[in-house]
Amino acid sequence: MVFKIFFQSIRKLLSQWKLWLAVYLFISVLALLAAVPVSKAFANFAGTSDLAASITSGNLTETPLFEFSVFHRDCISQLFTILPILIGLTILFYLFFKGGFIAACLKKDCTLPAPEFLRISAVKFPGLFLIAASSLVFVIPVLLLNLPLSALCRWISGDSEPLFALMFILRAVLLLFIFITIKAAFDFAQISSVYKKGIKTFSAVKNGWIIFFRYPFKIFGLIFIALAAGIAVTLIYSSISRVLNMETAIGTVAHILLLQAVLFIRTGIILAFTCSEAGLFSEYEVPLLKWWYDGRSQQGISE
Where is mean pLDDT largest: 12-16, 142-146, 218-222? 218-222
- Kindly state the average pLDDT of the residues 4-11: 86
Band of residue 298 on the pLDDT scale cut at 50, 70, 90: very low
Higher pLDDT pick, 179 / 300:
179
User: How far, in Å, are 23, 32, 38 from residue 256 at the CA level?
Assistant: 19, 13, 18
Is the pLDDT at 102 greater than 80? The verdict is yes
Asked if pLDDT for residue 128 goes beyond 90, the answer is yes
Calculate the CA 40 to chain-centre distance.
30
What is the rounded average pLDDT for all residues in the chain?
Answer: 78
pLDDT of residue 231: 92
Instruction: In whole angstroms, give the CA distance from residue 89 to residue 87.
Output: 5
Sequence-distant contacts of 93-97: CB under 8 A, at least 24 apart? 93/23, 93/26, 94/23, 95/125, 95/128, 95/129, 95/132, 96/121, 96/122, 96/125, 97/19, 97/22, 97/23, 97/121
* CA–CA gap between residue 277 and residue 15 (Å, rounded): 17
DSSP code string of 72-129? THHHHHHHHHHHHHHHHHHHHHHHHHHHHHHHHHTSSS----HHHHHHHHHHHHHHHH
For position 269, what pLDDT does the model report? 92
Minimum mean pLDDT range among 74-78, 162-166, 183-187: 74-78
- CA torsion through residues 228, 255, 11, 113, sign: positive
Helix (H, G, I), strand (E, B) or coil at 250: helix
Q: How far apart are CA 23 and CA 94, in angstroms?
A: 7
pTM: 0.78
Question: Using 50, 70 and 90 to split pLDDT, how confident is the model at 133?
Answer: very high
| pLDDT grade for 168, boundaries at 50, 70 and 90 | confident
Reported as a pLDDT band with limits 50, 70 and 90, residue 74 is low
Q: Read off the pLDDT of each residue in 209-238 and give the average, rounded to a whole number.
A: 91
Provide Rg for the chain, Cα atoms. Answer: 23
242-278 pLDDT per residue, tens? 777 666 667 777 877 888 898 899 999 999 999 999 9
84 CB contacts (<8 Å, ≥6 apart)? none
Task: Return the pLDDT at 23.
Answer: 85
Least confident of 46-60, 83-97, 159-173, 198-212: 46-60
